[in-house]
Chain A
Amino acid sequence: MLKFIINRMMTLAISLIVASLVIFAAIELIPGDPAAFMLGINAAPDTVAALRQELGLDGHPVARYLRWVAGMMTGDFGQSYTYQVPVVDLVMARLGISLPLTLMALVLTILIALPVGMMAASKRNKAADWGIMGVTQLGIAIPNFWFAMILVLVFAIQLQWFSAGGFPGWDNGLAAGLKALVLPAVALALPQASILARVMRSAMIDVLSQDYIRTARAKGLSEKQVLLRHGLRNAMIPVVTILGLQFSFLIAGAIIIENVFFLPGLGRLVFQAITQRDLIVVESVVMLLVFSVIIVTFLVDIAYAWIDPRLRQSRLNLGAFR
């Protein structure tokens, strides 16, 4: 296991280095001078020169890349041009919304998908199964931001159970903060829960046809015990794999959903930064998003090697489940 973890950590390090290189190179590719790009076409040459110096654009690209990476490692992402505050302060404040939102959506996805998937598998080819398969097929086809708008229409405008948008801040109590995230999290979770429920169903069907399930039934376990004790545990490997992949969709989805609910999270920050040409903020947020996806992939790799020791020997083909 230790050898496996060391191996995975090497891959993790290489992935992070290559990802940072790609992002840095992409920003470097901007035609012309980034400082002039950020200030727009009407900027005076001395203002551009001052910004160039402030951004440290005078040095060699390699030196700048190394300085950028070293900065990130010490928590220094640079200074936002528009907000005139350290990017790390901006990002941390916004993460206080985006991270709980993503995690809430992840928990909801699991809470919805696992029981629904298990039920469909246990009622295979019956009305309940057909119903669940139909609803999940529809759930996959619904764009999460559209579903979010419909939720606003029904639960905020018509029923007035929730607010239509905005965030009261965590200072006003945990309950108020969480309440503001309920609709966004539900909207984010629905398509992912539909996908996961279908994966859970097929994994469970696969597991239920195994000999050890027949043995479990033969020794007199109830259907519930069979499903929970033997079925669920063995069906978890593909489910965990998909869940890891879904994290990146949840992060990307959260960025869009924040726009529907006017939540001041990372998504709002990055889109404002794009409009204001605040490249340092764009670069940092993109790196943070990619970093979190790579870390989650690493953790998922470790998790299923722990669940199933056979997998430590070989690399998993994640693509098969995509």
Chain B
Amino acid sequence: MITKATMAQMPLSLKLGMILTMMIATMAFVSLVWTPYAVDQLNIAGRLQPLFHAQHWLGTDHFGRDILSMVMVGAQVSIAVALVAVGIGMAFGVPLGLTAAALEGTRFDDVIMRGNDLAFAFPALVIAILITAILGPSALNAIIAIGIFNIPVFARVARGGALTQWRMDYILAARVAGKSKTRISIEHILPNISTLLIVQGSIQFSLGILAEAGLSYVGLGAQPPTPSWGRMLAESQTMISFAPHLAIVPGLAIIITVLGLNLMGDGLRDWLDPRLKRDQRRQG
């Protein structure tokens, strides 16, 4: 439980990041049950209303749809895509990294690491292009593309963290006690690298939000009529000279989400990594 004392110890970036992230997450949750207007409700007569309009706080688009409602539902898509993609990355990457670390120096470790190097040559967008060329554009394919991109990242972080743990005395004790490498990896290594994984998770989450927006922008993500921030931006492009708010609002939603997650990641790392705290005290 987070007590007052714990809150006081948290770095400012973590608090700020948490506030921003909670804001967006709440918006996404609320949109599951309520939005000011239905996102598929067209009102041509009331199209292109400006910001701070009495009925539509964030204005309306070229079909007269309420932008606030669309941004709220768009948050669902962005969060879902990025979150599942992080899940895919962790589910495949972490076991790979843990196994590679447990079998350090063997052929398996080498193959995993070389495979990782190779995977970095395929940016998420390139994977998405390949998948879309084959299966067609959809939010699911965007998830797969970003998820595949996340796998080598988590494998590398898990392996790096696990290698440090394997050199510790308590692992030696566990080995002397007769525990297998698999048991040690699951019971001891995994809990001890969880901080590392959570921090990396928040970074990949924010990268996932950006990637999803980019993919939707070029038409490789969620398809109409599902609202998505990236596609809202793409649709606003030809109208930017006379209705800039169509581009500014979804853009700000992306920035706030990514900024929140990045600040949270940075803050978590500073807060949870005692080594960093010690360094800060020494240098401060």
Contacts and interface: CB of A to CB of B under 8 A. Distances in A.
B213 A143 contact: yes
Interface string A293-322: 110010000000000000000010111101
A248 B121 contact: yes
Contact of A142 (B122, B160, B237, B255): B255
Interface stretch (A97-105, A149-157, A211-219): A149-157
B195 interface: no
A255 B125 contact: yes
A149 B259 CA distance: 19
Contacts of B244: 153
A245 B132 CA distance: 24
Nearest to B156: A319
A138 B255 contact: yes
A14 to B, nearest CB: 7
B95 to A, nearest CB: 17
B114 interface: yes
Contacts of A271: 218-219
B240 A153 contact: yes
Contact of B123 (A145, A153, A251, A318): A251
Contact of B114 (A11, A267, A293): A11
A157 B240 contact: yes
Contact of A140 (B129, B218, B258): B258
A149 B220 CA distance: 19
Contacts of A26: 130-131, 134
B129 A319 contact: no
A30 B133 CA distance: 9
Given A145-B233, A282-B133, A297 B120 contact: yes
B247 interface: yes
Contact of B254 (A23, A146, A245): A146
Nearest to B259: A141
A142 B241 CA distance: 20
B217 interface: yes
A149 B247 CA distance: 8
B114 A14 contact: yes
A157 B241 contact: yes
B251 A150 contact: yes
A22 B210 CA distance: 25
Nearest to A165: B237
A140 B283 CA distance: 26
30 contacts: A11-B117, A15-B114, A15-B118, A15-B121, A26-B130, A30-B134, A125-B284, A138-B255, A141-B258, A142-B255, A143-B214, A143-B217, A143-B255, A146-B247, A146-B255, A149-B233, A149-B240, A150-B247, A153-B240, A248-B123, A249-B123, A256-B218, A267-B218, A271-B219, A282-B130, A289-B126, A293-B120, A318-B120, A319-B157, A322-B156
Interface of A: 11, 14-15, 18-19, 22-23, 26-27, 29-30, 125, 137-138, 140-143, 145-146, 149-150, 152-153, 157, 209, 245, 248-249, 251-252, 255-256, 259-260, 267, 270-271, 273-274, 277, 279, 282, 285-286, 289-290, 293-294, 297, 315, 317-320, 322
Given A125-B284, A279-B133, A297-B121, 19 more contacts: A27-B130, A138-B255, A141-B254, A143-B258, A145-B233, A146-B254, A150-B247, A150-B251, A157-B240, A248-B123, A256-B125, A256-B217, A271-B219, A274-B133, A277-B133, A282-B133, A293-B122, A315-B113, A319-B160
